[in-house]
Amino acid sequence: MPNRVYLDWNATTPLRPEARAAMVAAYERIGNPSSVHAEGREARRLVEEARATLAAAVGALPRNVVFTSAGTEANALALSPGLRGGAGEPVQRLLVSAIEHASVLAGGRLPAERISQIRVTRSGIVDLDHLRALLADGPPALVSVMAANNETGTLQPVAEAARIVREAGGLLHVDAIQALGKIAFNINAIGADLATFSAHKIGGPKGVGALIVAEGLAGLEPVLRGGGQELGRRAGTENVAGIAAFGAAVKAALQALPEDAKRMTTLRDRLENGLRAVAGATIFADQVARLPNTVLFTAPGLKAETAVIGFDLEGIAVSSGSACSSGKVQPSHVLSAMGFDGTVAQGAVRLSLGWSTEPADINRALEAWRKLGNTLLRA
């Protein structure tokens, strides 16, 4: 579709040229990475090179990277009922922040009665005092706090959460899917025990994710059983082409990160100023640290579904929040957790930028918003 502007990068990203080249090259090879012949060894080399690239990017050891089919599967693998905490005692419950991705809120493989939610503040930051209270009121826990929220872009205090959780004898899982390639992330510096990632959020292909497990962590139970792939932690022949492309995307994203983050911050701030100038628009969580590329806004009387359709008709791709609801425009559970009522939660629109977003794209989006704000909201 010509002349369209894509501002839904938090949902998925275009395939980076480097990732495309790596994928095409891998598809030209035929080996199974578990085979011992030359073709198999070549496929294994591609997988291990990507594993080393991702590990180096986030401060992990290659042997602790587990490739999966998606970020959702990586989250399910991380939320394992067999994990053991700092004292070797099995974790007996799961604490998740109320703004987590649906795949984390679902609790992985832990039963619903063992799952509790951690409150967040009006700005969308996890309430660490509530986390402390929950940890003190029960047995060792597995805690899941995302690095950056996919709707508001808020950065979470994961390093402080890790310290609190460790002191309580628990484990911390960090969903870093939106963080990778947008901000610096180091699993060791944070002190997380598990971290999850997804290729298609950073310019890799859909259908590839990864879980990183801290050195020495015990009790991780596979979701998929069968062969001994991924050191017995995830059965099934590895997606060689997708994994090779994931590695290439990680390398390209990390190389461009400093300049991309600076440029996107400038464009984001310009976009927000333009949105505020029309129809009394407000930006959520604009007073706290956020991703450089994410804007979640609303205006009095705005309906997200109408706005998303309106932007689309103007040639602008935006969203109402998470893209994991079968295409349905639903009230934001993130805003509800932040204390906003249903009317506000139903009127939030997200615009997210990427490495190829240009000033002209921001101009188009603001032109579309001026048209929408002066018609839909005043009709």
Q: Which of 253, 132, 284, 8 is CA-nearest to residue 145?
A: 132
For residue 122, CA distances in Å to 54, 152, 287, 337, 359 come to 34, 12, 11, 8, 31
**Interatomic CA distance for residues 114 and 91, integer angstroms:** 10
Q: Which of 344, 299, 348 is CA-nearest to residue 322?
A: 348
Q: Are the C-beta atoms of 311 and 317 separated by less than 8 Å?
A: yes
| List 324, 342, 343, 358, catalytic entry | 324
Clarify whether 240 is annotated catalytic. no
Q: Are the C-beta atoms of 312 and 260 separated by less than 8 Å?
A: no
Amino acid at 155: L
CA dihedral (230, 235, 240, 242) in degrees, to 10, reads -100
Which tokens is 218 given?
A: 């015990």
**Interatomic CA distance for residues 46 and 64, integer angstroms:** 17
DSSP string, 143-157: EE--SB-TTT-BBP-
**Interatomic CA distance for residues 203 and 13, integer angstroms:** 5
**Interatomic CA distance for residues 218 and 277, integer angstroms:** 53
DSSP string, 192-218: -SEEEEEGGGTTS-TT-EEEEE-TT--
Q: Which of 262, 183, 182, 245 is CA-nearest to residue 210?
A: 245
Q: Which of 201, 202, 179 is CA-nearest to residue 192?
A: 179
How many CB atoms neighbour CB 147 within 10 A?
23
- 3-state SS assignment for residue 352: strand
Which residues are known catalytic residues?
Answer: 324
